[in-house]
Chains A and B, each alone.
Chain A
Amino acid sequence: MTWTRRKFGGFAGASLVAALGARAARSQTKAQIVVIGGGIGGATVAKYLAISDAKLEVTLVEPKQRYTTCFFSNLYLAGVRSLETLTHDYQTLAQAYGVKVIHDAAAAIDPVARTVTLAGGGKLAYDRAVVAPGIAFKYSAIEGYDEAATQIIPHAWNAGPQTQLLRRQLEDMDDGGMFVIVAPPNPFRCPPGPYERASLVAYYFKQFKPRAKILILDAKDTFFEQDLFEDGWNRHYPGMIEWLPGQFTGGIKSVDVKTRAIRTAGSTFNASVANIIPAQMAGELAQRAGLVDQTGWCPIDPMTFESKLQPGIHVIGDATSAGDMPKSAFVANSQAKACAFAIVAATTGAEQSTPHLFNTCFTLLAPNDAVSDAINLEPQAGSIKITDIFFSQVGESDEARRQAARQADGWYAAFTHDVFG
């Protein structure tokens, strides 16, 4: 009887404590989440983990103080937007949401001890890590193009100094010069990006260097939204942009960096200004941490974005091999939310819902002519499959395209607020 009463009383007391002080009790054993990489995926996941009710201790490791978005940086190349308007910092994440931001690089991850070693020497313990390393370039694919060469022929596929270098070169180019873009094989960051770049540089040339030409040497035989781009090029910049598919050139073989001579299987093209966007793979940390498979990308569980290779480590963003999901900022943001909610569910023991995965991209053919696509995706049979896909159509009214351009502007503001604000 005494034993029973004590046991009952203890149980009743415990459930009251649990009910009345659930949050306080939980906060005493905060799970440690370390997010590595402060791009769109990393910043989004850090924010959504920090604002969840799960009371997690969230640390974001990112070497840079500020992040410049790759998306919309073609508008900077066009002279329409400043780089400053595309640059964001981590102060709101730290001050409003309590994310502990460490400006250092992650040198190594020990998946057994569950620690992250920082380049500066510190060590962080984690219950779960989220790695958002972005992309790395396969420099060996084009002979003569290596990391040093990017200081003369920029890739400009990470926004910042590379984009500024390319803009300066375009400004210095003579009217009548030829700008060559080397477009990468699939899969790569931002499928419409190289072609939007051609469009918006053409917009700049049309005003200031009307005799200039743009040549796209593509590794591929087709490209994303090709009909929309070709229609836009014919309407806005007739005769200015030429696109040569891989099957025509036989592929891009080598480059003489000093003379900007780009050699394909059959010809040599002499560029006034060149932009080589190399073939890509998951960011360097993912390679070092054993998160990539033979494809060069990171396989993940489609429900949780936990690595299929290293339990306890989640991977999000461009570095993932995520079925039909394209490598876009929007996808990184969508994945980051799904990943954050999965971590919250795992930490609190709540049931995890099937994530809503979505992508939309606004693409500018000219500053007042935007097209968009919208893609629904869902986890299916261990991967992620497209369930619905919608594109803008050739022949839409000028007003519809102008409205899409205004929406694109509004989207940029709202989206970067969602990530950094």
Chain B
Amino acid sequence: MTMSRSIFLAIAIGLVILIADQGMAAENERAAQLAAMCASCHRLDGRDKGIPSIVGMDKPTFAEAMAAFKSGARSSSIMHAVALQLSDAEIATLAEYLAARRKESKRQ
């Protein structure tokens, strides 16, 4: 009984860690893949010249800017097109990812 419970516990912990690890890795990978689209024009180390820097931007500022580009309230044909491609959920994922990044970060 004790034996089978501990085995069950080990399986449960193993699966929870496995799923959590894969879930976080998958979420981070998904966010990194979305940010890769931004990286064609914006540097992800924040060293932009002539193009606004987006890393380290706080979440509401980013989400509001994207909403304004999507509606056309802020004019930029390039950013209007980009905003139209992204769902609200994707914009939220990007906001989280970019806010968490610091300028001059190691990756990228």
A interface residues with partner B (beta carbon < 8 Å) = 5, 8-9, 11-13, 15-16, 18-20, 22, 48, 51-53, 330, 333-334, 337, 341, 344, 350, 353, 356, 358, 360, 372-376, 387-392, 406-411, 413-415, 417-418
Contact = CB atoms under 8 A, between A and B. Distances in A.
A13 B15 CA distance: 11
A333 B81 contact: no
A12 B77 contact: no
Given A356-B86, A358-B85, 5 more contacts: A9-B7, A12-B11, A16-B14, A48-B36, A341-B33
B3 interface: yes
Contacts of B34: 356
A227 to B, nearest CB: 16
Contacts of A388: 81, 84-85
A127 to B, nearest CB: 19
B56 to A, nearest CB: 16
A390 B14 contact: no
A409 B3 contact: no
B36 A337 contact: yes
A374 B78 contact: yes
B34 to A, nearest CB: 7
A interface secondary structure, majority = helix
Contacts of A408: 50
Contacts of B4: 5, 8
Contacts, number: 118
Interface string B59-86: 0000000000000000001101110111
Contacts of A409: 49-50
A392 B77 contact: yes
Nearest to B82: A358
B37 interface: yes
A330 B77 CA distance: 16
Contacts of A375: 81
Contacts of A8: 4, 7, 11
B interface secondary structure, majority = helix
Interface string B10-54: 110111011001100110111001101101111100001111000
Contacts of B33: 337, 341, 353
B81 A411 contact: no
A413 B49 contact: yes
Given A341-B33, A356-B34, A414 B42 contact: yes
A389 B80 CA distance: 10
A116 to B, nearest CB: 26
B50 to A, nearest CB: 3
B29 A344 contact: yes
Given A12-B10, A12-B14, A414 B48 contact: yes
Given A12-B14, A376-B85, A409-B50, A417 B77 contact: no
A350 B29 contact: yes
A315 B32 CA distance: 23
A408 B82 CA distance: 17
Contacts of B10: 12-13, 16
A22 B7 CA distance: 21
Contacts of A390: 77-78, 80-81
A354 B91 CA distance: 16
Nearest to B19: A19
B30 A353 contact: yes
Contacts of A387: 84
Nearest to A413: B49
11 contacts: A12-B11, A16-B17, A19-B15, A53-B28, A337-B36, A341-B33, A356-B37, A373-B77, A410-B49, A415-B40, A415-B41
B108 to A, nearest CB: 8
